[in-house]
Homo-oligomer: A and B are copies of this chain.
Amino acid sequence: MPATHDPKTPAWPPRSAPRLFVADELDMGSIIAIEGNQAHYLSRVMRVGEGDIVILCDDITGEWAARISSVGKRRIEAEAVERLRAREAVPDFWLCPALVKKDRFDLILEKATELGVARIRPVTTRRAVVDKLNAERARTVTVEAAEQCARTALPVVDAPEKLDALLRDWPQDRTLYFADETGGEPASAAFARYKVPAALLIGPEGGFDDAERAAIRALPQAVPIGLGPRILRAETAAIAATAMWMAVAGDWAA
């Protein structure tokens, strides 16, 4: 190691090392090819060169330090040199948000990733003004959130499904909390009663309609919850209730 003016040992991995999720499973000595936007980001934005260290995650084995072995115009290669952390465990909690407008739904995806949601199951409902989700964009948002926050686990993001279909096949052992504008048990008390496995269903702007609400309430696993006296926007309800679940029934107190 060359002498430096810094009397302390340099941090390992370097604090400035870029962090990326890659599609391939990582192993000691793996050579990983990085192409497309990620290659552009590394070479043009972060200006990495041969020998530099990057942090790679694969959402399978965890987080690795990798050393850049070649920098081409469109392709960068890096060799995995040390596993830094195993893929983290997250609580067995699903978020089932009704689709809402793009920027608001992006916020749900970003914050759910940060908060440690294991799986996101978007739902289409009668009052929703949106019924499609761009899967590639959803992937980009969750990956960027995980890269920013040093998460080693990505949430699974399912294709949107109709509320009826979601309820029809609901797992017998999984509590389905749902934010009911017409009232329900205070969320913190309800969350403390049934912990994992659990899920949270959040309606669209304007809420579920009466028939939907009746269908949800008819599910034996459903527990209506209230989120206080103020009207919350859909994405605020999703973020607020997810944070509360993590605090009360997830791993915040562990």
Contacts and interface: CB of A to CB of B under 8 A. Distances in A.
B228 A116 contact: yes
B186 A253 contact: yes
Nearest to A145: B233
A111 interface: yes
Contacts of A189: 253
A104 to B, nearest CB: 11
Nearest to A242: B240
B228 A247 contact: yes
Contacts of A163: none
A243 interface: yes
A229 interface: yes
A254 interface: yes
B150 A231 contact: yes
Contacts of A55: none
Contact of A232 (B149, B186, B188, B253): B149
A186 B253 CA distance: 5
A18 to B, nearest CB: 17
Interface residues of A, number: 35
Given A243-B239, A243-B240, A244-B247, A148 B186 contact: no
A118 to B, nearest CB: 12
A224 interface: no
A103 to B, nearest CB: 11
A114 B190 CA distance: 22
A227 interface: yes
A233 B114 contact: yes
A85 to B, nearest CB: 12
B232 A115 contact: yes
Contacts of A233: 114, 148-149
Contacts of A168: none
Interface in A201-254: 226-233, 236, 239-241, 243-244, 246-248, 250-254
Given A186-B253, A251-B229, A252-B186, A240 B150 contact: no
